[in-house]
Amino acid sequence: MFQLWPKRMLIMLEPAGITVIQRGQSAQFIANNTTAETPSQLWQNVVNLLEENSALLQKQQLSVVISNHFVRFNVLDWRDDVVLAKDWQALALAHLRNIYGHVADGWTVNSEQQGFGQPSLLTAIDSALLQQLEVITQQAGAKLESVVPAFNYIANKCKKRIGRNDALLVAEKGRLVLGIKQSGHWQVITVNAPLADNTYSDAESMVRRLLITATSLPKSLYLFGIEKHHLSDFDQALSVFELNDIPVSSFAEEVVKL
């Protein structure tokens, strides 16, 4: 039978809980009140919470945004001798295995190619997490349209604003992901996992290192704070700073407001 999917829903999975966004409605936040001792237990608790509230998903067309806490990021340099997509995929997995070991065998790796001669942006999510999302949505009578890491989702939503030589910092409590563009392509992805109370100081340190070590200084730095705005108001959540004109401390003060 032909099935229409008239309802669209955006869900954000993060350590603190689940944010549900539907057009024309206020964002709904469902808190995660459990504790976790391992990264896998952390995402498992949030997925369990989604399953407990799966009635919300019925007959919805879902886009799921995954907190950067649950994603590994890296950049894979271009290689002239690799042509086929399957070979790029195998190379991406081998690259992450060299860094993280065989734990990477349990990840689903996505290699986002940026064009000829350009590096690929790698993201990896636990395969078990993705499999459970598929099961939950199917059992709820929903359609899972996409699953995207928070950094990638925000970068795509803001791509018309972020210039060819700008930087983007996506900030969550306990997780900072900084991407640097050169000539319109992501060249560097840096991840920091500060203690929640140290988000301010670690963000300042990341920007200081950027100012000192960057071979080509980004013109502007965009800051997106997830915790406060839950993806529902990009204009409010996105701040921009001209790196040549501001002291680092004034940028870091924005981070502490998240």
Give the other-Cβ count within 10 Å of 120's Cβ: 23
Task: Clarify whether residues 109 and 203 are in a common domain.
Answer: no
Domain ends where: 131, 154, 177?
Answer: 154
Cα–Cα dist 49/111, whole Å: 29
Task: Clarify whether residues 167 and 130 are in a common domain.
Answer: no
* Confidence (pLDDT) at 98: 93
Task: Clarify whether residues 44 and 162 are in a common domain.
Answer: no
Task: Clarify whether residues 52 and 125 are in a common domain.
Answer: yes
Task: Clarify whether residues 69 and 6 are in a common domain.
Answer: yes
* Confidence (pLDDT) at 208: 73
Task: Clarify whether residues 97 and 2 are in a common domain.
Answer: yes
Task: Clarify whether residues 183 and 245 are in a common domain.
Answer: yes
CATH number for 11? 3.30.420.380
CATH number for 176? 3.30.420
Cα–Cα dist 71/127, whole Å: 11
Residue 7 has what DSSP assignment? E
Give how many domains the chain has, as a whole number. 2
Task: Clarify whether residues 121 and 25 are in a common domain.
Answer: yes
Q: Which range is least confidently modeled, 156-170, 174-188, 225-239? A: 225-239
Domain ends where: 111, 136, 154?
Answer: 154
* E-strand stretches of the chain: 7-14, 17-22, 28-31, 60-66, 71-76, 107-112, 120-126, 143-149, 167-172, 175-182, 185-192, 220-225, 238-242
Domain ends where: 132, 154, 176?
Answer: 154
Spatial contact of 188 and 180, defined as CB atoms under 8 Å apart: yes
What is the chain's Cα-based Rg? 19
Cα–Cα dist 203/194, whole Å: 9
Task: Clarify whether residues 174 and 230 are in a common domain.
Answer: yes
User: At 258, is the pLDDT very low, low, confident or very high (cuts 50, 70, 90)?
Assistant: very low
Task: Clarify whether residues 207 and 115 are in a common domain.
Answer: no
- Does residue 23 have a pLDDT over 70? yes
Residue with tokens 């699953």: 147
Task: Clarify whether residues 105 and 174 are in a common domain.
Answer: no
Which residues form the domain of 214? 158-255
Spatial contact of 177 and 169, defined as CB atoms under 8 Å apart: yes
40-89 residue pLDDT tens: 899 999 999 999 999 999 999 999 999 999 999 999 888 887 778 888 88
Task: Clarify whether residues 149 and 204 are in a common domain.
Answer: no
